[in-house]
Structure 1
């Protein structure tokens, strides 16, 4: 047996550069036990087998798509990455690089503007289904695409404010002052520094006591509507979208949001418990529509925390789509570590990792919402549980 120095060409882990060679048969096997190496680089500096193959077959391959390819889904982007020569040269890294490259182009593609401001209430009385995550990431996705977006944090926990990097300690003017003290929204709104075209009305812990204080007030259910109407009619105020992030309850704060909004967006976690209680939310929406806000309608349902490896997630998704039809967005949001990490840095996933699967999914969901708004198909019939 003799030794020869070679470099692995098919992605096997490095073996220190030494491969055992049988002088009689010429058979090569790694001294560390890795499978036989069939794609090697000549020690003299000649082209590798892969380079030769790419050189010979280049004319037969489809042209690699440009980074500015728009109007495609996240799955299409991954498919394009697979089709290019990068996918052949370096399987895992090149595919991710191609997807990231196209994500940059996709991220900067403009989205259609609605004819008038769309006020969307993100509600679900069950906690942990992704309401706040959905609110801030959809808002960020629309903003980075050139639209003007306002996020109103109506949850006393203030998680939306945290994710957008907005201070919301007790001394900060907040939505509490708007709801209880009738402070104009323009006096408490803050600009999100990380993203152009995005603003936030923060929530502080004071909001936890607002439900009790609102009980004895006149027109307690319509205070959000009054404040929003006044703000949207103010000179220089021009938003394409307003998102209201609701607390995980069906109390007065959520009722105020439903009265103040035009559309309801319901995030549904792809697990069985997420379906329980949904009928009660829909009944409450019907009651608000019948007595307080005739224009309110459930326009959007978004599947969140989708895990394609489990049969349960597929079954829940299928059941939701069967029951709610076209109200459910085609895009589902996958479970993603990047989505979970982003708030700890005071960011949305759109700025934290714009090429991640979570960012691409929220971008696609935002595009669906924007295109529905441009086509005038946002207000359907009220959904009954």
Structure 2
């Protein structure tokens, strides 16, 4: 199963959601890979901590390798690093992704990630792809490579308005490049149940028949501690309310075995 977590809007929790759901998958014994395509490297830092500085070559080096022909090409597995958590591996991001973007786009390497991840399916039960906050080469590559798409949503009117364009972009990728791609659901993040605006905004999505997933992820300062310590919630505090929400969200997703 290959999932992409995608939203063109920044600050909606893509990396946090990707990393925590992937960490739960690994914690449940599933062989799990996180592919970080955001040059900021938030998922990389979250899952690898200080070890990210000494990790194996990653996503940038993988894409660099696609720009030239080699009689003995590097195996995709060589661009993957183990995390401190059993069953959880990372193809790390780096700022070099930004430098490569125009070259990859002009050379039309849009299917290389799909081909590489399909070849890894025998090694991993789940592959999670974190994307940059833009519909660029890397995001399109991820959508072409994935079976399903999760869309983080942070409960404001700007996000709601942007959601329709985002869904159109996913539908276009599906029609032109990836018939198997589906929107698995909208993940409501930083939800405040006692505030009227989040409740009203989410209800509007439900009224429109959009696939809003349950449960909603609560706003919590604990997630900031999780980021600082580079410990996903399942490894930081299994009894915390937010951890339980992540567990329920993960267990509600399809094909988790």
TM-score of the pair, normalised by structure 1: 0.62
**Larger displacement relative to structure 2 (252-261 or 270-279):** 270-279
**Aligned residue among 197, 200, 208 for 2:90:** 200
Q: Indicate the SS of the match to 1:302.
A: strand
Q: CA shift at 1:374, angstroms?
A: 6.2
Find out whether 1:320 has 2:202 as its counterpart.
no
Q: Which runs of 5+ in 2 are unaligned?
A: 67-73
> In 2 relative to 1, CA 120–374 (structure 1 residues): closer, same or farther, beyond 3 Å?
closer
1:359 maps to which of 228, 235, 243: 243
Counterpart mapping for 1:70-89 below 5 A: none
1:151–1:200 Cα contact (<8 Å) kept: yes
Equivalent in the alignment of 1:173: 57
How far apart are residue 293 of structure 1 and its match? 0.9
1:89-115 CA distances to partner (integer Å, 9 max, x unpaired)? Answer: xxxxxxxxxxxxxxxxxxxxxxxxxxx
Q: Which residue of 2 aligns with 1:259?
A: 144
Equivalent of residue 190 in structure 2, options 305, 317, 324: 305
Flag the 1:278–1:184 CA change in 2: closer, same or farther, 3 A: farther
Q: Higher relative contact order at CA 8 Å, sep ≥6: structure 1 or structure 2? A: 2
Give the counterpart of 1:143 among 14, 22, 26. Answer: 26
The reply on whether 1:213 has 2:103 as its aligned counterpart is: yes
Distance in 1, matches of 2:64 and 2:251, equals: 35
Q: Is the 8 A contact 2:24 2:234 kept in 1?
A: yes
SS in structure 2 of the partner of residue 157 of structure 1: coil
Give yes or no for contact 1:180–1:213 (8 Å, CA) kept in 2: no
User: Partners in 2 of 1:251 and 1:332 — Cα distance?
Assistant: 28
Shift of 1:170: 8.8
- Tell me the equivalent position of 1:222: 111
Asked if 1:276 is matched to 2:161, the reply is yes
The correspondence of residues 1-385 of structure 1 with structure 2, limited to 5 A, is 118-166=1-49, 167-169=51-53, 172-182=56-66, 183-193=74-84, 195-217=85-107, 219-233=108-122, 237=123, 239-325=124-210, 327-369=211-253, 372-373=254-255
Return the offset for 1:245: 0.3
8 Å CA contact 1:189–1:202 kept in 2: the answer is yes
Count of residues paired in the alignment: 249
* In 2, Cα distance between equivalents of 1:341 and 1:131: 17
- What stretches of structure 1 of length at least 5 have no aligned partner? 1-117, 376-385
Instruction: Evaluate the alpha carbon distance shift between residue 272 and residue 159 of structure 1 in structure 2; reply closer, same or farther with a 3 A threshold.
Output: same
Q: Tell whether the 8 Å contact from 1:259 to 1:293 is kept in structure 2 after alignment.
A: yes
Cα distance, 1:210 vs structure 2:
2.2
**Who wins on radius of gyration, i.e. which is larger?**
1
TM-score by length of 2: 0.91
Cα gap change, 1:374 to 1:170, in 2 (>3 Å)? closer
Cα distance in 1 for partners of 2:76, 2:195 equals: 44
Distance in 2 (CA, whole Å) between partners of 1:171 and 1:341 is 23
SS at the partner of 1:243? strand
Contact kept, 8 Å, 2:55 with 2:81, in 1: the verdict is no
User: What is the CA-CA distance between 1:180 and the residue it aligns to?
Assistant: 2.3
Q: Provide the residue aligned with 2:70 in structure 1.
A: none
